[in-house]
Amino acid sequence: MLPNFQFMTPWRDGASVRRRRQQKLNALAAVYDTALTEIDTKVHGLSLAQLVDAHRSGHVSNADVMSAYGKKAFAAQKATNCLSDIILPSILPHTARQANGNGIPKRGTNAVAGRFEKEQTDRPLAGVPISIKDCIDVAGHPSTLGYSAFSRDSVAASAPIIRLLQRAGAIVHVKTTVPAGLFGLETSSTLFGRTSNPYNSAFSPGASTGGGAALLALGGSMIELGTDIGGSVRLPAAFCGVYSMKASNGRFPATGARTSTPGSEGVQTVVSPLARRLEDLEEFWKRVMDLKPWEYDHTCVPMPWRPVNYATRKLKWGVLWSDGIIPMSPASRRAVQIVIDALRAQGHEVVDFEPPTFEVLKTGFQLTFADGGEQVFANLQCGEFISPGVRAIRKTFSLPRFFKHILAFFLPVLDATLLRAFYRKSVVEVRELVDAREVWKRVWHDKWRAEGIDFVICAPCAIPGVPEGGTSKAGLLAASYAFLFNIVSIRILYSLLSLRGALTLHIASLLLLMQLDLPAGVLPITTVSRKLDALPPTFRPSDLGPSARGAYEIYDAEKMHGLPVAVQVVGKRLEEEKVLAGMRVIRDVVVLVMTIAR
């Protein structure tokens, strides 16, 4: 009998995908694997609004845009391995360019390029380069979700949001890497390999929109279109020092954005953008809403853009200091304190906000993995890599319930409560959990209104970065501050007492927001300081519970020195305009205070 080499299939698929990707890159290397020219630099420095205006006026062509952003994307791929597929540059004619009096190039003279661009001159996103997470359908290209099994077939039709963007004149130029199944704190897969952080290659760019965030940070795109279920656009934005805002469910077109848990109503996937600049993020949101996306996608709420300006108003901000599971690291806490001090210095009111968090997270974790993780693993091929945190969850579910009850006696109360809750749910139990989720939404809503708060501020993650392989220690719960506002995105690192200590959970605050279905934005505030953010000499990991201990095992201010540190701004449901305005307030007061301090 011949040996079964089925375990080699995902590795062969991965090698094939990487070979095709490299062939496309090699074909474009003569044009894009070069340094930026002076004109490229000017084009690259334009804001979204400026770029569209320059394109409409005929001063910038698609070829000009791709000359600048294509070169940056090429360099980003070399530095971080952030691209999963190349979409457009191969069909864009590279035209000779001439500069006008302002140093901005005139429109290329290539006839084909001219006809192609003439059709786009009046479109609201004309010339804007947009990268796409490799789970959103683009016709003629696979939507892999990081699974090797999905790499062999291209999709027939683009998602409604892609059709909208292309009709608006946007340049959809690349797709970006994701981890297998879109779960994890690191963007690694058998299919694409490992994507690294643009600030420090020893660290993760976050996940699951890790490739897109790394690409943005290195200037290879103006907008990245990602998805979020438990912090998947916010965590990468935080780790890579860019901007993002998770939408409320229904505000942004989501059809054609694939997920490893299709059909899940408990914790739904939302499509949301990331950007290098806050102004570009806001402008992109506004222009997409002005295009009436609900006419493209039946899941989208028909709600036009409502401009907000807080220039003359002082706001009330609530601070969420803990997600109830993992305390903020010194670096994350310092970033939040910088924001608090800057807001107070400009006359804003800042108060502590203490709504229920652990209960929301507990409900969200159970809804997210109500099937015991079966769907996430269903598309994995034999021998294929997936996040150790996800495997830990699956192992936790596989334990007999009576054994988990016995193990719970040896754990602190919160950890024991979560461990007992991790078992496959029946249909009736799922409905009960959905009902419980709605109760917690109402509790948050009522408390928010009673205290008269405009926005909530918290960390997007307990720690500012995850080193390579760190998910095996930190777990998914490290992102808990982001999941909270989706409902609660949690990472459970399972390990028996005889192996490494019990049970570790780690993504809470991110999933918390998903469960509550609140819009949440992330913006960079500072960077990790080896001096300011070191753990005190008296710190002892043993003082923490098992769920927090894993995160602090990988927290090292010395090694993390220079990594971006962000804060998260949370608003009320379907008030994305206000969240972006609130982010702008924070950005401006922090810059003002820092400028005065100098």
427-450 and 508-516 helices, crossing angle to 10° = 90
Cβ atoms of residues 197 and 461 within 8 Å: no
Task: Tell me which of 208, 248, 495, 509 is the catalytic residue.
Answer: 208
DSSP classification of residue 136: B
**How remote is the C-alpha of 19 from its chain's centroid?**
27
SS3 of 235-267: HHHHHHCCEEEECCCCCCCCCCECCCCCCCCCC
198 by Cβ neighbours in 10 Å (0-12 / 13-18 / 19+) ranks as buried
Beta bridge partners of 99: 105
Task: Tell me which of 232, 248, 260, 472 is the catalytic residue.
Answer: 232
* Pair of tokens at residue 6: 């089925």
Helix, strand or coil, per DSSP, at residue 506: coil
Cβ atoms of residues 138 and 175 within 8 Å: yes
Does 231 belong to an annotated binding site?
A: yes
Clarify whether 133 is annotated catalytic: yes
Task: Tell me which of 42, 71, 72, 133 is the catalytic residue.
Answer: 133
Clarify whether 232 is annotated catalytic: yes
Q: Which residue has the tokens 């990245």?
A: 224
Does 230 belong to an annotated binding site?
A: yes
DSSP classification of residue 113: H
Does 582 belong to an annotated binding site?
A: no
* Pair of tokens at residue 364: 């969200």
**In the chain, count of helices (H) and strands (E)?**
22, 16
Does 407 belong to an annotated binding site?
A: no
Clarify whether 67 is annotated catalytic: no
**N-term to C-term CA, the chain:** 75
CA gap 227, 46 in Å, rounded: 26
347 CB neighbour count, 10 Å cutoff: 9
In angstroms and rounded to an integer, the radius of gyration of the C-alpha atoms of the chain is 23
Cβ atoms of residues 49 and 277 within 8 Å: no
Cβ atoms of residues 492 and 392 within 8 Å: yes
Does 127 belong to an annotated binding site?
A: no
* Pair of tokens at residue 459: 């960390």
CA gap 202, 210 in Å, rounded: 14
Backbone angles phi, psi at 596, to 5 degrees: -65, -40
Does 208 belong to an annotated binding site?
A: yes
SS3 of 159-190: CHHHHHHHHCCCEEEEEECCCHHHCCCCCEEC
Residues contributing to the annotated binding site: 182, 208, 229-232
Residues contributing to the annotated binding site for substrate: 182, 208, 229-232
Query: Which residues does the annotation mark as catalytic?
Result: 133, 208, 232
